Amino acid sequence: MPFDAPTLALLTVLGGLLAADATSLGQLMLSRPLAAGVLAGLAAGDPARGALVGALLETLHLGVLPVGASRYPEAAPPAVAAAAVYAATPGAGWGTVAALLLLALGWERVCGSSVQWLRKRNAALAVRPGTESLEPRWVAGVHRRAVALDVLRGAVLTFAALVAFAVLPPWIGAGDVPEGWARLAVMSVAAAAAASALRVFGTKRLPLFLLGVACGIAALVLL
Amino acid sequence: MSGGAPAVPRRALFLRSFALQGSFNYETLIGTGFAFVLLPALRAAAGGDEARLRASLARHAELFNSHPYLATVAVGAVARLEAEGAAPELVGRFKAALRGSLGALGDRLVWSAWRPACALLGLSVVLAGAAWWAGALVFLAAHNALHLWLRGWGLRVGLRDGLNVGKTLREAPLGRLGDRAADAGAVLAGFAAVLAFGQAGATGAQHALGAAAVAAGIALGFRLRWAAAAVLLGVLAAGAFLARTL
């Protein structure tokens, strides 16, 4: 385990708070991997490595749209765990990054399912069909309890992910993958994920996308 | 209170709006949250009449939905109607008419254009080699500039216009803003895709992989996450196989 107990506790609380930011409280987008990775990296001691994993996970989340009452994978707990593990493991290379991204993609589905469970639980807690009178204290109480439950849910999921993500990459031999291969694969996936965002904006904007590609090539040549 | 709007606790409504979706559920959606946000205004409107307060809370805890950033439009308008003593049936019909447009407008502007464009801006900053904090800071600042403005603007026009807020929504340039954000997002998607592959350390013929990755990303679109997982799994499996055989 690359964390001491206080750091593990701090990251668990951070994961809980960021999970709540996604829907229940704030929606300031601190829960997005790009921000959560930096915060987790700071808590784990190496914000630059946390930022790298957060940015890679962000590319994979560009196409996740919380439109209407849709059901979607949840970003914050896996992003906190993946970024923190990578930040706290200085010797870990690109194979570990690949393993952490894969684990995060899987854990995001589990977290998304837990959000569905929470919403059903909220219905049992907060819905009183046919009621013609509600106490102000009751409304405020159930609402605050629902937010607290979301924080707790996020904290539990983050804690579980921190333990699993610290143990699994070495166990599956992620460090055995040649660095060049792993880096090429990870950054190709990130490039494909960034390109897939064109579908979010509409393929009629392909000319603008190609303009961006040309600017990117120019930047690579010039910088 | 300016613009002829009634005396309602504007700051409390604004702050509570950040917890609007706290009790989101699949039956009343944000109904309970809407009642929670509106509570200070309903208390002021009831003027010490506890029965009226409890009845209005029950009405507002029923089914409602909206984009969270634009929900303050409904909060402001309903707060005004309640302060003016509007009939419950009128308030109910008004909320039902408003909720579809607030959801669609917000989804199109924020989730489908502004947020991904801001995220790509932040990613481009990271991939261009800026300091570790810069990408997240740029993303959060850009996204929340619109987010906080929308919450404040929504509450203001809701309180000011009441039942007529629909006209204000139709005249606001939110759709055009979404289109321009999507335009910028498309450029940034292409830019970030190239910069990402530029970090891959590719040599010689491997550069063709970059073009293939970009084309695959466009083709896969929303299904990309499954393909990404398959690629990462394949690389890890190949690494494990090599480690055992060589």
pLDDT tens sequence across A32-76: 999 999 999 999 999 999 999 999 999 999 999 887 666 799 999
pLDDT tens figures, A115-171: 999 999 999 999 888 889 999 999 999 999 999 999 999 999 999 999 999 999 999
User: By the CB < 8 Å criterion, does B167 face chain A?
Assistant: no
Q: Which of A81-85, B32-36, B240-244 has the lowest mean pLDDT?
A: B240-244
pTM given for the model: 0.96
Residue B59's closest CA among B67, B68, B51?
B51
**Cβ-contact B39, B76 below 8 angstroms:** no
In this prediction, residue B2 has a pLDDT band, given cuts at 50, 70 and 90, of: very low
Query: Is pLDDT at A223 greater than 90 in this prediction?
Result: no
Percent of chain B with pLDDT over 70: 98
Cβ pairs A/B, distance under 8 A: 366
Computed over every residue of chain B, the mean pLDDT equals: 94
User: By the CB < 8 Å criterion, does B63 face chain A?
Assistant: no
Q: Tell me if B224 and A192 make a contact (CB, 8 A cut-off).
A: yes
Q: Tell me if B192 and A122 make a contact (CB, 8 A cut-off).
A: no
Q: Tell me if A55 and B111 make a contact (CB, 8 A cut-off).
A: no
Q: Tell me if A105 and B68 make a contact (CB, 8 A cut-off).
A: no
Q: Tell me if B198 and A216 make a contact (CB, 8 A cut-off).
A: yes
Nearest Cβ partner for B232 among A52, A102, A176: A102
pLDDT tens figures, B141-158: 999 999 999 999 999 999
| B-chain residue closest to A49, CA distance | B132
Query: Is pLDDT at A109 greater than 50 in this prediction?
Result: yes
User: By the CB < 8 Å criterion, does B232 face chain A?
Assistant: yes
User: By the CB < 8 Å criterion, does B194 face chain A?
Assistant: yes
Residues of A in contact with B188 (CB under 8 A): 212
State the pLDDT at residue A69: 61
What value of ipTM does the predicted structure carry?
0.96
Q: Tell me if B236 and A220 make a contact (CB, 8 A cut-off).
A: no
More confident residue, B201 or A216: A216
Distance of alpha carbon B27 from alpha carbon A129, whole angstroms: 10
Residue B21 neighbours by CB under 8 Å, 6+ apart = A23, A24, A27, B30, B33, B68
pLDDT tens figures, B70-119: 999 999 999 999 999 999 999 999 999 999 899 999 999 999 999 999 99
In this prediction, residue A214 has a pLDDT band, given cuts at 50, 70 and 90, of: very high
Residues of A in contact with B227 (CB under 8 A): 192
Query: Is pLDDT at B4 greater than 60 in this prediction?
Result: no
Q: Tell me if B239 and A205 make a contact (CB, 8 A cut-off).
A: no
In this prediction, residue B3 has a pLDDT band, given cuts at 50, 70 and 90, of: very low
